[in-house]
Amino acid sequence: MGLDIRIPIGLLFSILSLVLIGYGLVSDKAIYAHSLGYNVNILWGCVMLVFGIAMLLLGRRGFSAMRSQTPSPEGLAIERDTQRRALKDEPK
């Protein structure tokens, strides 16, 4: 099965982090007085961006590793047997 959750998670975190960084750049500096003057939107946006890029890279690496494997004759025989059993057990 080719479902890899890391790619959509990476896209989600990357897009949201860019929105958060953009908001941190254009927002009023007075709202950061409570956080000792640190622009937490930019800081956490950068953290989220690093995480999102890492998920995208790991998902891409996992997808390429999954596709590069060649099926063995034993694996193909197991797949055929499994498919035959599924067809036999299927209600008509």
At 50, which helix (H) or strand (E)? helix 40-67
Q: What is the mean pLDDT of residues 66-89?
A: 76
Domain segments of the chain as ranges: 6-89
At 4, which helix (H) or strand (E)? none
In angstroms, the CA 89 to CA 15 distance is: 46
Tokens of 52: 């999102």
Quote the pLDDT of residue 63.
60
Is 0.75 surpassed by the pTM of this model? no
Quote the pLDDT of residue 64.
58
At 76, which helix (H) or strand (E)? helix 73-89
In angstroms, the CA 21 to CA 14 distance is: 10
Quote the pLDDT of residue 65.
55
Quote the pLDDT of residue 72.
79
